[in-house]
Amino acid sequence: MNAKTRKIRLSNGMPHQARKRFGQNFLHDKPVIARIVDAIDPQPDQHLLEIGPGQGAITDLLAQAGGPLDCVELDRDLADFLEKRFARHGNVAIHQQDILKFDLAALINRNSKLRIIGNLPYNISTPVMFHLLQNAELIEDMTFMLQLEVVQRLGAKPGNKNYGRLGIMVQYFCEVEHLFNVPSAAFTPKPKVSSAIVRLRPHARREVEARSLEALQTVVRTAFNLRRKTLKNSLKAIMSGDTLAQIPVNLSERPENLSLSDYVAISDLFAQELNQSHHD
Ligand code: SAM
């Protein structure tokens, strides 16, 4: 996309250059915006957090729900614009900050968990999700616009070609629901990739609990780095033969055929080995 076609006007008439490095693709399609907010169905007693409100396309309807709405926008020009636009809304607070450095815990001043919403900048969507999941216990749910391909990976089950690291790690924390797809024509400028809305809801009680999240991450990363190799071949790089022998899973399988609970079982043995070697 050349620089010229990225020139837009904000609703106060100010020219704005849509910044590619901030993943700025603004929603303009009113029925699509209404469908997203309907799917969220915000209530006055719920605390909302919007990531990357941009010009406020979704923000406007979220603010109308009447409950507290915190918005985190990195772009200084847009944050200034939003400050003015929502100045008369006592329930809306604009934070000109990077969501990757934003402290969720600092927002929680009441009993209710956060409902998070965002048409996310696609270039940083994975780190944003992992940053938020560090505080999964503070979150009721997250409704995100993401690249369709990422939504497919988030929800993929074993045996599916989209199944991998991202899906396993996010499914460890959350239930994943692919809500609907959004056409590129709903945005200005139009993104080159397809988009979809997904809902992530942290499990009230996790189905499986890993002894160490770091160990789980290492095992899953190691397994999928060499997707075509059997698990035995990949895992022997990080584990002893003794530990490999204790694994209650068929290690001649490829990584895409194992379930989340298989990975947790492997990572628990790996964590145990690491723990022992620390004490030796
Ligand atoms: N919500 C608006 C909409 O739907 O029209 C804008 C969505 S646009 C895809 C992504 C927004 O995230 C932009 O406004 C961008 O400036 C903002 N953004 C990019 N990186 C960010 C970051 N690290 N922290 C907070 N906001 C960010």
Question: For the segment 170-225, what is each residue's pLDDT rounded down to a tens digit?
Answer: 999 999 999 999 999 999 999 999 999 999 999 999 989 999 999 999 999 999 99
DSSP 123: G
Q: Which of 96, 149, 99, 97 is nearest to 121 (CA)?
A: 99
Q: pLDDT confidence of 162, banded at 50, 70, 90?
A: very high
Q: For 20-202, which CATH class?
A: alpha beta
Looking up tokens 């406007």 gives 60
pTM: 0.94
| Contacts of 193 by beta carbon, 8 Å cutoff, 6+ apart | 122, 147, 148, 149, 184
- Spatial contact of 237 and 185, defined as CB atoms under 8 Å apart: no
Ligand 1 site: residues with CB under 6 angstroms? 22-27, 51-55, 57-58, 72-75, 78, 98-100, 119, 121, 124
Q: Give the ligand 1 atom nearest the CA of 24.
A: 8
How many angstroms does the Cα of residue 244 sit away from the middle of ligand 1? 45
Q: Alpha helices of 70-212 — where are they, by DSSP H?
A: 76-85, 125-133, 148-155, 165-173
Q: Which two tokens stand for residue 33?
A: 């915006």
Between the CA of 79 and the centroid of ligand 1 the distance, in Å, is 10
CA of 121 to the centre of ligand 1 (A): 5
Who wins on pLDDT, 18 or 260?
260
Ligand 1 centroid–CA 30 distance in Å is 18
Listed in order, the ranges of the chain carrying CATH 3.40.50.150 are: 20-202
Asked whether the CA dihedral 26, 120, 113, 109 is positive or negative, the reply is: negative
Nearest CA to ligand 1 atom 14: 54
CATH 1.10.8.100 intervals, the chain: 213-279
Kind of pairing between the strands at 187-188 and 26-27: antiparallel
Per-residue model confidence as pLDDT tens digits over 97-150: 999 999 999 888 766 899 999 999 999 999 999 999 999 999 999 999 999 999
Sorting pLDDT into bands at 50, 70 and 90, what band is 2?
very low
Looking at the predicted structure, is the pLDDT value of residue 3 above 90? Answer: no
Taking the C-alpha atoms of residue 13 and residue 155, their distance in angstroms, rounded to an integer, is 41
- Residue 18: its pLDDT value, please? 82
| Rounded (to 5) percent helix, strand, coil in the chain | 45, 20, 35
What residue type is 86 in one-letter code?
Answer: F
User: What is residue 110's predicted lDDT score, i.e. its pLDDT?
Assistant: 64
Tens-digit pLDDT profile for residues 46-82: 999 999 999 999 999 999 999 999 999 999 999 999 9
Residue pair 270/215 in contact (Cβ under 8 Å)? The answer is yes
What's the 231 CA to ligand 1 centre distance in angstroms? Answer: 39
CATH of 213-279, one of 1.10.10.10, 1.10.8.100, 2.60.120.380, 3.30.420.10: 1.10.8.100
